[in-house]
Amino acid sequence: MIIGLAMRGMSERQYAAHVGLSRGAIQKAKAAGRLVLHEDGSIDAAASDRLRTETTDPSKTRKTPAPKLKPVPEAAVSAVGDTLREQGMAAPVTGGGTTFLQAKTAHEVLKAQERRIRLAKLKGELVDRDRATALVFRLAREERDAWVNWPARVAALMAAELGTETAAMQKVLEAHVRAHLEELAQPRIAL
């Protein structure tokens, strides 16, 4: 190697960084004649890359281990897609791979939605779903009980006004009220 002149190629260190190997591995390859050198002793990178590719046995090369990534549950990926679609953004197709940017965007949207819900709850604008369901159920039960007891209370009054028998009037009223309550019992409210 000539000292003081600029090298035409790469040094061992530079070439090691270029190919992702240690300097010792480059020195071994150089000693084995698997590198192309310039007259000044520097390494011709392009020619050495080709020569190494041709002469290296692929079964003896170390493969860089693939990073061990945990699989993302399909439910999480679909939740990201749902959140993005709700916001009018492009969502990945299921199994199509969600980008980090899409996942981060969905995460930020969900955080904002959660904060908005918490704030509405603190302001008293939201109610607990279980509590509301229990209240509606109790009110419906009270309404039903009032209707079931109504024929017994008014049958005598109505029978007197119409001049009919009280027991017959009560029986007819109860039959019609129960039929009406059965119609009303069909579920219509979905919370």
The residue-averaged pLDDT of 57-68 equals: 66
For 23, residues 6+ apart whose C-beta sits below 8 A from its C-beta are 12, 13, 16
Is pLDDT at 69 greater than 90 in this prediction? no
Give how far the C-alpha of residue 19 lies from the chain's centroid of Cα atoms, to the nearest Å. Answer: 39
Is pLDDT at 1 greater than 60 in this prediction? no
| Residues 190, 4: Cα–Cα separation, whole Å | 86
| Residues 34, 162: Cα–Cα separation, whole Å | 117
Lowest mean pLDDT among 11-20, 27-36, 93-102, 110-119: 93-102
Choose among 11, 8, 15: nearest CA to 49: 15
Average pLDDT, the chain: 82
The residue-averaged pLDDT of 104-112 equals: 82
